Every structure is written in C-alpha cells, then in structure tokens.
Amino acid sequence: MQRAHFATGFAILAAALYAVNVPCSKLLMNAVTPTMLAAFLYLGAGIGMALWGLARLLTGHTSRAEPLTRRELPYTVAMVVLDVAAPILLMFGIRSTAAANVSLLNNFEIVATSLLALAIFHEVISRRLWMGIALVTLASVILSVDGGGALSFGRGSLLVLGACVCWGFENNCTRMLSTKSSEEIVTIKGLGSGLGSLVIALACGEPLPGGRWILLTMALGFVAYGLSINFYILAQKELGAAKTSAYYAVAPFLGVAFSMALVGERPGAQFYAGLAVMAVATVVLVRDTISLQHVHAHQHIHTHAHSHGSLCHTHPHVHTHTHLHVHTDGGEAHSHTHTDLPDHNHSHPPVQPPL
C-alpha cells in the first residue's frame, strides 16, 4: 500500500513538473528567443538524461532494454526532425497567445496521435475515444477562435495545434522504437532535436542568450521533460499504464493554474467555455483508458522482452513492462486469448475465426 502511495505521488509529480513548462517558457521569452528556447530546453533534457543514465550505470542499475540499431534509423531520424519542428512551433505559439490556452491546447496531441495511429497502423478507436476526440477538437476550436465579429483563428493557437500534429506523427514514429531503451531514446531526442534547433536559430540570426539564461532554460528542460518522464515511468511500474495516465491527465489543468499564478493571466469567458469542454473530454478519455480493456485472440511464435510506449516529444507517454511469449505446438502457432489495455503502442493482428 505504501508503494502505491509513493507511485501515485510520482505520477502527480510528473504531471506537475511538465505543467510548469508553458508558463516558465513564456517568462523565459523575455530574455530568450523562441528557437533558442526550444534548443536549450531539449539540450537540457538530453544532457540531463545522459548524466542520469551514466549515474545509473556507475551504480550498477543498468537498463535491460535493447539498444537502438541501424534498423530503427529511419524512425529515429524522423523522430528527431519532428522534435525539431514541434517545439519551435510551440514556442512561437506561446509567444503569441496566453499560456493557459497553450496548456489546454496541448491536449490536441491526443487527437493527432489517435487519428494518425488509425490511418497508419489501423488502430481501433473505441466509441468513447471518438467522443473524447470530438470534445477535444471542439474545445480546441473554442480556444483558437479570435474574439470579434468575423470567424478567424488566432495565429498563436494555430502554431500550437501545428506542434501537436508534429508530435502526433512523432509519437507514431517512436512507437516503432518501443522495445528499446527509454533513456537512450530520450537522450537522442534531446541532443538531436536540441542541436538541430540550435543550428536553425543561429542560421536565422537569433542571438545566443546569456550564460545564466542558458542554464535556467536547460534546467527547465531537464525538470519539465527529463525528470517528468523519469517519475512517470517509476509510477507506471507500480500503478500500471491506465492509472498513471489518469493521474497525469491533470497536467493541462495544473498548467492553467501555474499560468495564472506565475504569468498573472486572467482569461475571459471564451477560455472558461473551452476549459469546461476540455474537462469533460479529459474525463471521457480517462474512463476510456481505464475501463476499455479488450480480449482478443492472437498468435505468437517468438520469445521476447519488450516495452510499450511512446516518448512523445520528451513529455511522458511511456509505460514499460516486459513479458515472455513462447507459444508453439508441433511447430505451429499456438492461438490464445488474453486481456490487454488498449493503447497506441500495442496491437496484434486478430486470428481469423474458421469459416
């Protein structure tokens, strides 16, 4: 019971650490340009996780997951490229719209990831998940429409939604790396995306920030991305994916609270309408995650240890476990059924029933 309490604390801490990203980034933009900010946030996460991995190695806590190989190179490159584009779009979006709006609009990543998983991997989307997608989309439209007479969408909100689409693609690329070391993936994402953003920032003539601003930005990246992922994984080991995701669902709303406290924002009626719809959407999505387990028949002719999850753009969408499958019967595949919690990273082709 005590371990479960600690795990619950880790899950909420992971959500809180990620939630500080948007308001703190908005404050840092008083001294750091958007692309430079994206660069050093990711470099902070990458360098921090590399040091974290080194510390674990020196203390004998080595990862059992497989390292990346050439086979995963296309997905690794795509992951890094998308993780260059997404945070740059996000930072320009943060600069152009309220931080509280950005915190809620980040939920559109769920829509992008789900629809792309449907299109690319033919994932099954439940009726409840479709409802959640529709509600998140409606809330995003409410939050994105500019006030006034004509129907128009705010530039900042569109940039944030563009970042979410990039992260939706990135989540599905990272899905293909789900059997590999999470520490290695986060380190590669952080260093690769951070260096890529830094090159773009220098090429665009953005000035390097002062030393203390670089350190503050990197510290934020390590805390809001690196440590947040670490605590999320620790929580999942005890609570499982569904409960951890449910606790983590408070992140956007914590982001709103932090934005009001740190940036002093006072949103209008339009924001609260979007907030209400997004809250209902979150409840629907959490209930779908927890209750929609499925039982299916599938085949295995392999023995493996693997992890499922996506490290989406360095904020937690990871759950890790290992299991072994050896199912053969006279050299033929052995068909069986078991229960899995549906997610974007676990799918089996169903066994066709006899005609």
CA proximity to 166, closest of 252, 99, 67, 92: 92
75-108 burial code (b ≥16 CB/10 A, e <16): bbebbbbbbbbbbbbbbbbbbbbbbbbbbbbbbb
Q: How many CA atoms lie within 13 A of 36 on its CB side?
A: 21
Residue 284's contacts (CB-CB under 8 Å, 6 or more residues apart) are: 128, 131, 132, 135
Residue bearing the bigger pLDDT, 334 or 189: 189
pLDDT higher than threshold 90 for residue 244: no
E strand segments, 19-126:
none
* pTM of this prediction exceeds 0.95: no
Domain locations in the chain as residue ranges: 2-60+72-291
pLDDT higher than threshold 60 for residue 118: yes
User: Which of 65-69, 85-89, 97-101, 281-285 bottoms out in mean pLDDT, i.e. has the lowest?
Assistant: 65-69
Residues in the chain: 355
Q: What is the pLDDT of residues 31-47, one digit of tens each?
A: 999 999 999 999 999 99
Supply the pLDDT for residue 354: 31
**Which tokens hold the place of 66?**
């497989």
Q: Which helix (H) or strand (E) holds 339?
A: strand 332-340
CA proximity to 107, closest of 345, 316, 290, 281: 281
**Locus of tokens 């992140």:** 251
**Which tokens hold the place of 2?**
């005590």
Average per-residue pLDDT for the chain: 80
Residue bearing the bigger pLDDT, 10 or 35: 35
CA angle 351, 353, 355 (to 5 degrees): 140
Helix (H/G/I), strand (E/B), else coil: 205: coil
